[in-house]
Amino acid sequence: MNHYAVNLVLALLPEIALLAGGMLIVLLLATQSTAEGDCATTHRRAAWAALFTVFAAAMLLQLGPRVSPDELRPPAPQSHLLAASQPAGVVMLGPPVLALDGTTRAVRWAAIFMGVLLIGGNFGCPENVTSRLKMAGRGSPEFFMLLLFSLAGLMLVASANDLIVLFLAIELTSLPTVVAVVLSRPRHGAIEAGGKYFFLSALSVAFLLLGLAYVYGATGTTSLERITSMTAYGWAGAKGPIGLVAVSLVVAGLAFNIAAFPYHVYLADVYQGAAAPVSGWLAFVAKAAGFVALAKVLVAVAGPVRMFDLGWVGEPVWQRFIAGLAVATMLASNVLALRQRSVKRMLAYSSVAHSGYILVALLVVPEPGETLPIVAMFYLVGYGLANLGAFLTLSAANPDDSREADTFDDLRGLARRKMPLAVAMAIFGFSLMGLPITVGFMGKVFVFVGAYRAGFAWLVVVALINSAIGVAYYLRMVASCWLDVLDPASDDPSPVGRGSQGETAAPPRPTPSLVIAVLAVLTVGFGLLPAGLFRPMASERTVREILHPAPPPAPPRRPPLASAPARP
Amino acid sequence: MRAAFVIASLESAAGPYPSDWLPVAMLVLIAVVFAVGTLALSAMVGRSRRGPVKDSPYEAGVVPVGDARRRFHVRYYVIAMVFLLFDVEVVLLFPWAVLFNADRSGFLLAEMFVFLAILAVGYVYAWRKGVLRFD
């Protein structure tokens, strides 16, 4: 064992903990008999194991050893030509495959935070179920191991500094989600959703891989660090033809993960077919991984380059491209969301709209040591909270025991039937709309202010108009719960939502009321005290700068990189 | 791609001419020519002996029995998946065995055992789920 290997393991302790916990759950499920029996016990055990694993990962993240970036550099392969000219005792170091920067920290904490809530959202298991197949959609124990793998993949995406590691991490994030969608099985349309999701994601992965191959072909290296320095020292990057093709292909591939405009078509079917916690998981984990990877590749291939104390050098050509993508995504999805009759499909299209807002956040100038601006992560977590809450509330708001609520009509009179659920739905709806004292509002404020300061005033105006459109359909969701009389347009006597028809007579899943309550409290709490969400994710200075921004004139010049230690 | 890089650097040294797209165009061209060319070549060069067996979906020489559109036991797919898993594992073991000698630190050895352990966990899961039960 050399030091490099040990350092690598130490740097990845939280991820390793999650993966190990996931494998233990696999073994736990393997030891339980497949026969009919107490699958509720298995489910509960798996849930507790997953929860414990996530807490262990959090402990390791907080208390684990800090590994400096230079300790993560591998010894360069011994070259026979160089060996003669090399003085004895000097070890050549290669580019690191991991980079633990501010974004890594933010994503790791966000993943752990959302992981706890997602596990909580699937904690309950119907007691009177006899066969595993029957309960699959209601909450299968495999959900937990898949979620742990996916969270580890998300963390690895955030720490990857090499195209190969990045690609594998994206796959580790997204493959478990496909399985989880299919596992929502007795639900009508789960297989269809899983099939669509799988084949389209395979197609998008082909795009992504071809794009990464172009990057490699043009630069001759897979190290993001080397590519960044090539861009800094004159490689044309995205301004040249190969770089442009590469960036286009990478954006096309990752646009599937984040569900941006032309690649959003699968989302409505998938959200409708998947169980509620799986939809919440898709909306946060897949999106976060896509955005982090997008920021990493774009910054490496196309700049901007941070030149010591000179600030941002070079005009990043991709910004206009991303701005255009954001506008198209917001407009298309909002118009489509307005026309939905199923609440789940509406939430799916609005999820695409939120991707548009986060694309706006990509244009915010990141703080030093970040790839993805911290405000984007804040928005992602805030959106993830409210979205998971809305899905869980929806799954608990069944009008009768035989089926789940699906259409706006099904929500009618919820305030009379289940008052607390209606209150929670209102909170989540307001947060998704971006009304004040919710985390959604604060997220929008940070993103729009950041984009305005980065010089994208026109884009902020477009995003604000789109937020106003969004109010229409979210209000319809909230109003359905609270008003008995709906607008005549949706007053269709025979709702055609597919999710509501083929629902088998599986026993209703217990309402995850505790998690819904926690989500509602957090949604309002982080809206009042956004620092509470920022503090674990970002450094003290970053939090201060975002919450109390300096006046517009240029920030004072900082001494050139005092933190870079001299390499022996 | 290596050649494409060399061409690209030569071209960009000369200036941003439209021919900067040359490597991209070349890759597309090679892909199309290879795909079309192989088919065309086999159509031109290869001898064509038509017959009922030759026209059957699988030319393996085995006469097909029955219709392809029938229901297969799900075990078929699961066993195929488990087989693929271990097939891919062996593919990874070969380059590892070549590199293994160069590494004296034991890092590669440990890495492969971690990989094998992960596979073993998956195998135990499949086994305990009754994938290999044939009754």
Question: DSSP per residue over A175-186, as a string?
Answer: HHHHHHHHHSTT
Q: Could you report how far apart the first and last alpha carbons of chain A are, in Å?
A: 21
Q: Is A213 on the interface with B (CB under 8 A)?
A: yes
Report residue A16's pLDDT band, with 50, 70 and 90 as the boundaries. very high
Residues of chain A with pLDDT > 90: what percent?
35
Residue A81 pLDDT exceeds 80: no
What length does chain B have? 135
Which letter, b or e, does each residue of A10-44 get, where b requires 16 or more Cβ atoms within 10 Å of its Cβ? bbbbbbbbbbbbbbbbbebbbebeeeeeebbebbe
Q: Is A312 helix (H, G, I), strand (E, B) or coil?
A: strand
Which of A399, A267, A424 has its CA nearest to residue A346? A267
Residue A515 pLDDT exceeds 80: yes
Write the CA distances from B99 to A221, A291, A395, B103, B112, integer angstroms.
Answer: 20, 35, 52, 7, 12
Determine phi and psi for A305, rounding to 5 degrees.
Answer: -105, 130
In whole angstroms, what is the distance from residue A275 CA to residue A283 CA?
Answer: 12
**Closest Cα in chain B, distance from residue A202 (Å):** 17
Report residue A137's pLDDT band, with 50, 70 and 90 as the boundaries. very low
Which of A376, A411, A421, A419 has its CA nearest to residue A534? A376
Contact B130 A34 (CB under 8 A): yes
Q: Which two three-digit tokens encode residue A303?
A: 């700049």
Instruction: Return the CA Rg of chain A.
Output: 24
Contact B107 A29 (CB under 8 A): no
In whole angstroms, what is the distance from residue A80 CA to residue A478 CA?
Answer: 70
Set of chain A residues whose Cβ sits within 8 Å of the Cβ of B106: 1
| Check: complex ipTM more than 0.85 | no
pLDDT score of B73: 81
Residue B10 pLDDT exceeds 70: no
Q: How big is the A-B interface in CB pairs under 8 Å?
A: 57
Determine phi and psi for A161, rounding to 5 degrees.
Answer: -130, 25
Write the CA distances from A325 to A201, A443, A471, integer angstroms.
Answer: 19, 20, 22
- Cβ-based burial of A416 (10 A; exposed 0-12, middle 13-18, buried ≥19): exposed
**Closest Cα in chain A, distance from residue B10 (Å):** 12
Q: Mean of the pLDDT values across residues A154-163? A: 93
Cis peptide before A556 (omega within 30 of 0): no
- Cβ-based burial of B3 (10 A; exposed 0-12, middle 13-18, buried ≥19): exposed
Contact B5 A31 (CB under 8 A): no
Write the CA distances from A182 to A142, A270, A276, A405, B11, integer angstroms.
Answer: 11, 10, 13, 20, 50
Q: Note the pTM of the prediction, 2 decimals.
A: 0.84
Q: Is A494 on the interface with B (CB under 8 A)?
A: no
Which of A355, A258, A267, A265 has its CA nearest to residue A297? A258
**Closest Cα in chain A, distance from residue B4 (Å):** 7
Set of chain B residues whose Cβ sits within 8 Å of the Cβ of A26: 121-122, 124-125
Instruction: Let me know: does A205 contact A221? Beta carbons within 8 Å.
Output: no
Contact A30 B128 (CB under 8 A): yes
Residue A491 pLDDT exceeds 50: no
Q: What is the DSSP string of A455-486?
A: T-HHHHHHHHHHHHHHHHHHHHHHHHHH-SSP
Residue B116 pLDDT exceeds 80: yes
The helix or strand, by DSSP H or E, that contains position A313, with its residue range, turns out to be strand A312-313
| Residue B55 or residue A323, greater confidence | A323
pLDDT score of A498: 38
pLDDT score of B18: 46
List A residues 31-60 in contact with B (Cβ-Cβ < 8 A). Answer: 31, 34
Set of chain B residues whose Cβ sits within 8 Å of the Cβ of A236: 12
> Could you tell me which chain B residue has the CA closest to the CA of A217?
B1
In whole angstroms, what is the distance from residue A166 CA to residue A174 CA?
Answer: 12
Q: Which two three-digit tokens encode residue B4?
A: 């494409």
Set of chain A residues whose Cβ sits within 8 Å of the Cβ of B121: 23, 26-27
**Closest Cα in chain B, distance from residue A29 (Å):** 7
CB-nearest partner of B5 from A31, A34, A218: A218
Q: Is A2 on the interface with B (CB under 8 A)?
A: yes
In whole angstroms, what is the distance from residue A241 CA to residue A218 CA?
Answer: 10
Which of A356, A335, A372 has its CA nearest to residue A462? A356
List the beta bridge partners of residue A278.
none
Give me the residue spans of the domains in chain A.
Answer: 3-68+96-489+508-547
Cα angle A253, A254, A259; round to 5: 110
**Closest Cα in chain B, distance from residue A342 (Å):** 34
**Closest Cα in chain B, distance from residue A23 (Å):** 7
Q: Which two three-digit tokens encode residue A113?
A: 């935070």
Instruction: Let me know: does A108 contact A172? Beta carbons within 8 Å.
Output: no
List A residues 309-338 in contact with B (Cβ-Cβ < 8 A). Answer: none
Contact B1 A2 (CB under 8 A): no
pLDDT score of A38: 63
List B residues 10-69 in contact with A (Cβ-Cβ < 8 A). Answer: 12, 16, 20-21, 23-24
Contact A217 B128 (CB under 8 A): no
In whole angstroms, what is the distance from residue A293 CA to residue A171 CA?
Answer: 12
Q: Is A75 on the interface with B (CB under 8 A)?
A: no
Report residue A138's pLDDT band, with 50, 70 and 90 as the boundaries. very low
CB-nearest partner of A30 from B12, B105, B125: B125
pLDDT score of B39: 92
Q: Mean of the pLDDT values across residues A196-213? A: 92
Instruction: Let me know: does A425 contact A393? Beta carbons within 8 Å.
Output: yes
pLDDT score of B35: 93
Instruction: Let me know: does B104 contact B127? Beta carbons within 8 Å.
Output: no
